[in-house]
Structure 1
Amino acid sequence: MCRLFGFRSAVPAAVHTALVTERNSLLIQSREHKDGWGIASYGPETSPLVAHGVGPAHCDPDFERVSSQVAARTVVAHIRQASVGAVEIRNSHPFHHGRWSFVHNGTLREFAQHKASVEALIHPELRVNIKGTTDSERCFYLFLTRLAERGPLDGQVPVEAMAQALSETMTLVSAMTDVPGSREPKERSAMNFLVTDGEAMVATRRNRTLFISSGLGGCPEALRAPHTGVPLQQFLIASESLCGGPHWVAVDEEDVVGVDSRLVFHRWKVQTLADGVLNKHPPTLQHGSVT
């Protein structure tokens, strides 16, 4: 198990409170999730600045140093409790490729048994970028494979395409790894994914808790509504409520939530987005789409 955090804002803002000083900050949570940390932040450049550590965040001065220096419109952070793969930098989240950053809270069931099958779904031009041994990194490149079918990865990608690619990734992986027909948590892969290109940000909930907020000044009712299209000033997402306040809203199981590049909130159902994916042929990437 791990813990994740995502932040999008209309203007650059600090995240030190969420990562370090909040009552249930990632630093506090790292007392349990102690196998490394990572922070990706987006500035003027298209690609993120990424910092990693392999020690517990709560006793690594670099975690607090990096957290105190980050002021950005988009931030993704992660603390790890290793389940698949050794505790080393190459297995630390966020994983990144070009403009894309990705974190995972969860574990693929019986991953060693299904590793080759998952890798077979990743386009060869993307598969060669895998550096570590985790299930999470392979899910990232499977997501990019599904996304690249819809257009170049270095171009502007609609938030709906991101949500659909994440949902297809979850559906393909769960079809391989879940015990058929079971609803028992231990027999289902846990796939809370969070991905961003620095503009849009999308996350999924499956078999782990997930919470969203529009900040202290935001309206939580806007995030509970079944419809989409709500404009926000800030969007936060985390594995656990960082303070227990009423502005944190639980995400429903098998939901996909996110904001587009204009910070408009969206919500979907995994089943709706990924309908029919199991019957499709393997994707054919567009020319130049993986660059």
Structure 2
Amino acid sequence: MCRLLGVVTRVPRPLTETLEGLLEPFTALSREHIDGWGIAARRGREQILTRGTDPAYASPAYRSATRVTADAALLHLRLASPGAAVRPGNTHPFVAGTLAFAHNGFFSPREALDDLIEPELLAGATGDTDSERFFLRVLSRLHGENTDPIDALAHTAADIGSRADFGSLNCLLLTESALYAYAQEDPESEVSRRRGPEFFRMHYRIGADDAVVTSNGVATGENWETLPYGRILEIRRSDLRVSTHAVTTAAPLRHAPDTP
């Protein structure tokens, strides 16, 4: 299992400044989530990707990457699924063009989506994880009938729900226009039963100058809200406008905002 942290700011700032008070407790989670880390940061139209297979807490490259100046970013700490290799190609975030994606969870079998992924995308996969296949199916949908990222995420979640067993489909998708966070778990999965009902919770905080979303494990307070399961949080990069959208892994309909 993994940990996620995403942020959007009004103006570019070093991540160490934007995430002050959050970055250290998030990084400390890498003492358990030891199988690599990655940061996809955006500064205007520029995307900066840095990844490593060492634990973030012990990585000079990670510390350097957290000092990047950006107006949007997603951070990932990896705890590899049993049997999954720790190597660069399996390290999140996964990127394609202007998109970056990171997943916290698993589904099985990992090949469940292979026949739904565009052949050229599948052939170009950098690794062999279920998480990358999640992203490749989202890309395939974006190239086809679901040009809206919210619809692509919702329908891909439905694809997984109809074809595979999953523990969590929590993920972050960063595009040129917005950061999207999706929260979904199976409370009957072995991981959910073993870790408890809060393990896959995601929380978000909306401020005057930034918006942050994070996995459970980072201390949150009264200014934080829980992202309910079956919801996609959308944070627009242009104006920090935030909305949530209800979806279901069974039969998602055209999304409708829950909040203005």
| CA distance, structure 1, for counterparts of residue 227 and residue 138 of structure 2 | 21
| CA distance, structure 2, for counterparts of residue 195 and residue 76 of structure 1 | 8
> Would you say how many aligned residue pairs link Structure 1 and Structure 2?
238
- Aligned equivalent of 2:58: 59
Normalising by structure 1, report the TM-score. 0.75
Of all paired residues, the percent bearing the same amino acid is 29
Alpha-carbon distance, 1:131 to partner: 1.3
- Aligned equivalent of 1:43: 43
Alpha-carbon distance, 1:128 to partner: 2.1
For structure 2, which runs of at least 5 residues remain unmatched after alignment? 186-199, 255-260
* Deviation by residue 1:124-147 (Cα, 9 ceiling, x = unmatched): 132222110111000000001111
For structure 1, which runs of at least 5 residues remain unmatched after alignment? 152-156, 179-187, 219-232, 278-291
- Aligned equivalent of 2:71: 73
* Deviation by residue 1:144-163 (Cα, 9 ceiling, x = unmatched): 11111148xxxxx6xxx111
| CA distance, structure 1, for counterparts of residue 125 and residue 23 of structure 2 | 36
Matched, 1:189 2:167: yes
- Aligned equivalent of 1:83: 81
| CA distance, structure 1, for counterparts of residue 26 and residue 214 of structure 2 | 9
Question: Residues 219-230 of structure 1: matches in 2 within 5 Å?
Answer: none
Equivalent pair of 1:20/1:67 in contact (CA under 8 Å): no
Alpha-carbon distance, 1:196 to partner: 1.1
Alpha-carbon distance, 1:61 to partner: 1.4
Equivalent pair of 2:142/2:152 in contact (CA under 8 Å): yes
Q: Are residues 166 and 274 of structure 1, via their aligned partners in 2, closer, same or farther at CA, if it must alter by over 3 Å?
A: farther
| CA distance, structure 2, for counterparts of residue 205 and residue 272 of structure 1 | 11
Alpha-carbon distance, 1:65 to partner: 1.6
* C-alpha RMSD of the superposition: 2.4
Matched, 1:271 2:248: yes
- Aligned equivalent of 2:201: 209
SS in 2 for 1:116: helix
**Higher Cα Rg, which structure:** 1
Q: Are residues 170 and 272 of structure 1, via their aligned partners in 2, closer, same or farther at CA, if it must alter by over 3 Å?
A: closer
* Deviation by residue 1:187-214 (Cα, 9 ceiling, x = unmatched): x431001101132111110122111111
Matched, 1:131 2:126: yes
Equivalent pair of 2:26/2:217 in contact (CA under 8 Å): no
- Of residues 107, 113, 121, the one that matches 2:116 is 121
Q: Determine which structure has the larger strand proportion and give its number.
A: 2
Equivalent pair of 2:112/2:160 in contact (CA under 8 Å): no
- Aligned equivalent of 2:190: none
Alpha-carbon distance, 1:254 to partner: 1.1
| CA distance, structure 1, for counterparts of residue 161 and residue 129 of structure 2 | 16
Equivalent pair of 2:155/2:249 in contact (CA under 8 Å): no
Normalising by structure 2, report the TM-score. 0.83
Equivalent pair of 1:164/1:274 in contact (CA under 8 Å): no
- Aligned equivalent of 2:176: 198
| CA distance, structure 1, for counterparts of residue 20 and residue 52 of structure 2 | 15
Equivalent pair of 1:4/1:105 in contact (CA under 8 Å): yes
Alpha-carbon distance, 1:241 to partner: 6.0
| CA distance, structure 2, for counterparts of residue 214 and residue 123 of structure 1 | 36
SS in 1 for 2:128: coil
| CA distance, structure 2, for counterparts of residue 100 and residue 23 of structure 1 | 23
